[in-house]
Amino acid sequence: MSEPSAHRSFRLPLTLALGLALVACDNGPADPMAAAQQALAASEPRAALLHLAQMSEKDAAYVPSRLLAGEVALMLGNPDRAITELKKIPPAAPEFVVARSWLAEAYLAGGNTNMARKTLADIPLEAERAFAVSAGVALATGDFEAGFALLDQGLTAHPDAPRLIAMDAERIWTNGKPEAALARLAPVLLQSPAVPEAHMLAGQIKLADRQPAEAAIHFNTVLDVRPAQQTAMLALSAIARDRGDTKGSAAWVEKANSAGPAHPVALYFTAQMAYDAGDIDRANSLIEMMPDGLSGMPEFQRLQGFVASARGQRQSAITALQRYFARSEGDPLARRVLAENLAANGELANAWEVIEPVIEHPQADGASLLLALDLAQETGRGDPAAIREVIARRDGSQKLAAPLRKAGLAIRAGDWGKADAILDPLSRDEAMTDPVLLNNSAAVKARLGGYDAAVALARRALAQSPESPEILDTLGWALWQSGEDPDAARTFLDRARQLAPRNREIAEHWQMAHAEQ
């Protein structure tokens, strides 16, 4: 995947020429405003901002340069600079109403919803941007009813407004209808210049649907228009990481950190990479740098718990991982780490409660199952004999570890055909009873449109692990997509959600199946 600079390198001579013009002439170009517009046309917003600063020095009262400077500062992810520029536009200026809508957006981008609301009160609710920011403020403060009412009002007044359409598409997506959301975005995605909000959302939808190659196209399009958009860079970092390109992933994180103020998600990614590389002290130092606002993110709580456990900080590990499980269904590895720390702390009953769900999990590892067996024997809970049977089945499936790992990498990279080529010959064997392989093969078949095969495989997996929410979800979702038996599909999805109420993917499938009742 090429980096943004690679396909814009032909513009470097223009950037160098602009720089040389600044050096050669103390006063800069004769027309800084024209130079700024030329730089923007060449996708060089930082150079444009330099020229606009020179324009302001040349004529501090020239409103168009202030307005454009505010817009460019927002493009570069610098709401503070935008606020400084836009506040200088006087009420008597013809551009005042437009400037106030931009100023409100800058306040919203900076997280100051109160000032954004106050700024919007100064202008009539007429323009597309005013509607978008007004709805954004309401949604950001949790007033969804008012936010969506403002969005609908804006769409009535401006039915073809790209940004409002993008917001409407996001509403559709959050209601569990990704295909309908992409259909809503379709005309906006064809527009030139590109609408960054639309491509950002399209990339997120594609990424959630495990189509990383298509997602990357949208994220790179965002960067063509907003070269300092850190979220798009971090999404590309995640795509590179899932593809096994650790170096490329780290490069995108570095770009995100260099694009503006340290992004908390970039810090998280860097800390995760340090932990994965075994550099626990660096991971810990990065965690300590993270802002308080990130502490509620489940992924951060998981990493924080793992790092604390690796450092022998038992109570900190327990606290962080308990917070993680309070907001997420979790995963077998996190359950094992938490259970290990609880057991070492003498809390055997609590450790058993944490590890018990792993027994039926299709991706349970041997270490987790052995810990479950030890805790079942220590506490007198569970069925040690049944756990030994699960361990025996998994031990007999060790030969599947390599193909499962290769198929998993293909799935994360969005190469469903490759994953199917790995799993299909194994799952075709009627003697195959490994629930992990059967479930993964079923999920891949469903993704490729082979719903009948997916349902058959998922039923075989469920016979081996009847209380696995992941397998119940695979079966229910394949049935739902096939359209053959929606009532049965909902029954399986209901049970999956009952067993794993905080699993986001299961919740999305459940919501989509029940939305059309």
pLDDT digits (tens, 9 = 90+) for 423-462: 999 999 888 888 889 999 999 999 999 999 999 999 999 9
Closest CA to 84 of 102, 97, 58: 102
Which ranges of 29-112 would DSSP assign to H, the alpha helix?
Answer: 32-41, 45-58, 63-75, 79-86, 96-109
% pLDDT > 70, the chain: 92
Q: How far apart are CA 496 and CA 470, in angstroms?
A: 7
Check whether 486 has a pLDDT greater than 80.
Answer: yes
Which pLDDT score is estimated for 160?
94
**Do the beta carbons of residue 120 and residue 107 sit within 8 Å?**
no
Longest Cα separation, the chain: 85
Residues 6+ apart with CB under 8 A from 452: 482
Residue type, 138: A
Which pLDDT score is estimated for 292?
67
**Do the beta carbons of residue 107 and residue 86 sit within 8 Å?**
no
Which pLDDT score is estimated for 395?
61
Check whether 350 has a pLDDT greater than 90.
Answer: yes
Check whether 397 has a pLDDT greater than 80.
Answer: no
Q: How far apart are CA 248 and CA 443, in angstroms?
A: 28
**Model pTM?**
0.67
Mean pLDDT of the chain: 85
Q: How far apart are CA 335 and CA 502, in angstroms?
A: 14
Banded model confidence at residue 261, pLDDT cuts 50, 70, 90: low
**Rg of the chain (C-alpha set):** 27
Banded model confidence at residue 294, pLDDT cuts 50, 70, 90: low
For residue range 133-187, list pLDDT tens digits in order: 999 999 888 888 999 999 999 999 999 999 999 999 998 887 777 889 999 999 9
Higher pLDDT, 15 or 122: 122
Domains, the chain: 392-514 (1.25.40.10)
Which pLDDT score is estimated for 55?
86
* Mean pLDDT in residue range 383-396: 80
Check whether 343 has a pLDDT greater than 90.
Answer: yes
